């Protein structure tokens, strides 16, 4: 039986499902999860939405976001757990519930670099976003076209992961799928303005500080943005406000790889000592495959966009990431 057929059987035979995604959820992870929740509920299923981290403010326009909970109900057990946009077990909270609670784990994903930790893996590496894989599952379940409440989060996921339909993964099929979701009632301006605009003053200040501190290496082929906790504090910003700032390094003419590093205090469920972790985002301007760079640091992602989180200080992480990015460009430091 194929992975898709197995996932369909689990969805049809079960009644209670846990849905989750990676820590610090982004638009594709959250949008795919919310869209899948609507699809399962359309089939009369019970769904519990779980993530240890809060929904980012810019995504709180999505229908159903307020149903996401940071803790699991006591004594709950599920017929299966669907995990969206999560390519590695390391992207889940340290104290993720055991199999006795989750039931079979179904991974719904599109990343090239992965460790396939689930019992069933639905992965389409040609898909521009995990949301497209959710739509493939919806079709197999007989719930396509999807209801309007699912269309908005799934469309949002596609918009975010294609950079507003600008990245190389955007194909004619991508745009046809987006059109299908628009026909289901999505308001494209509401999505675009929330995903790419509607910034808080704190995030705008953070951008200014980060751009002012931007550096280039390797004769301008690599851009580096550093966001220490002191910069977040000076801007009055929170960790999630740093997401996406890496794109500004790629805008600089001549840059082939943009790297952004920012530090945050680890939660108790991530490390026993509460040490500082550095999160690293990579973006490629075209030729470089930054997923290969991220994998060397324990992360993953796509050719054009990838990331990792490392348990090391900001400076050490910078040197490690820069050296690996240089090797991807054929340069030894």
Nearest to 143 by CA among 12, 6, 21, 47: 12
Phi then psi for residue 184, to 5 deg, are -80, -5
The Cβ of residue 233 has, within 10 Å, a number of other Cβ atoms equal to 9
How large a percentage of the chain has pLDDT more than 90? 80
Domains of the chain, first to last: 3-196 (3.90.1640.10), 201-328 (3.10.310.30)
* CA gap 274, 270 in Å, rounded: 8
Q: pLDDT-based confidence at 272, cuts 50/70/90?
A: very low
Residues forming a β-bridge with 16 = 46
Please give the pLDDT value at position 242: 92
Please write the tens of the pLDDT for every residue from 53-95.
Answer: 999 989 999 999 999 999 999 999 999 999 999 988 888 888 8
Phi then psi for residue 90, to 5 deg, are -65, -15
Q: pLDDT-based confidence at 280, cuts 50/70/90?
A: very high
Q: pLDDT-based confidence at 274, cuts 50/70/90?
A: low
Nearest to 9 by CA among 110, 99, 103, 86: 103
In terms of Cβ atoms closer than 10 Å to its own Cβ (0-12, 13-18, 19+), residue 86 is buried
Please write the tens of the pLDDT for every residue from 201-224.
Answer: 999 999 999 999 999 999 999 999
Give the contacts of 233 (CB within 8 A, at least 6 positions apart): none
* Stretch 140-147: mean pLDDT: 97
pTM over 0.85: yes
């Amino acid at each position: 039986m194929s992975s898709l057929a197995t996932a369909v059987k689990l969805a049809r035979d079960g009644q209670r499902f846990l849905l989750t995604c990676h820590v610090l959820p982004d638009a594709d992870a959250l949008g795919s999860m919310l869209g899948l929740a609507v699809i399962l509920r359309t089939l009369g299923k019970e769904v519990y939405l779980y993530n240890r981290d809060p929904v980012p403010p810019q995504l709180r326009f999505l229908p159903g976001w307020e149903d996401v909970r940071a803790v699991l109900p006591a004594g709950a057990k599920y017929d299966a757990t669907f995990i969206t946009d999560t390519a590695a077990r390391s992207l889940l909270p340290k104290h993720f519930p055991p199999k006795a609670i989750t039931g079979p784990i179904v991974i719904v994903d599109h990343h090239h670099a992965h460790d396939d930790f689930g019992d069933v893996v639905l992965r389409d590496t040609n898909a521009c976003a995990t949301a497209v894989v959710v739509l493939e599952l919806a079709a197999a379940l007989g719930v396509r076209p999807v209801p309007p409440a699912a269309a908005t989060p799934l469309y949002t996921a596609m918009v975010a992961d294609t950079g507003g339909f600008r990245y190389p993964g955007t194909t004619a099929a991508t745009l046809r799928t987006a059109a299908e979701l628009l026909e289901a009632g999505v308001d494209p301006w509401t999505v675009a303005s929330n995903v790419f605009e509607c910034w808080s003053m704190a995030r705008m200040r953070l951008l200014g500080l980060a751009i002012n501190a931007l550096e280039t290496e390797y004769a301008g082929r690599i851009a580096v943005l550093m966001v220490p906790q002191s910069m977040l504090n000076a801007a009055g910003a929170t960790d999630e406000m740093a997401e996406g700032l890496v794109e500004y390094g790629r805008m600089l003419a001549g840059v082939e790889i943009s790297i952004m590093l920012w530090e945050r205090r680890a939660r108790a469920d991530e490390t026993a000592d509460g040490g500082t972790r550095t999160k690293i985002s990579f973006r490629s301007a075209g030729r470089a495959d930054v997923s290969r760079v991220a994998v060397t640091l324990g992360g993953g992602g796509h050719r054009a966009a990838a990331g990792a989180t490392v348990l090391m200080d900001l400076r050490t992480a910078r040197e490690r990431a820069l050296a690996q990015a240089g090797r991807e460009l054929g340069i030894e430091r």
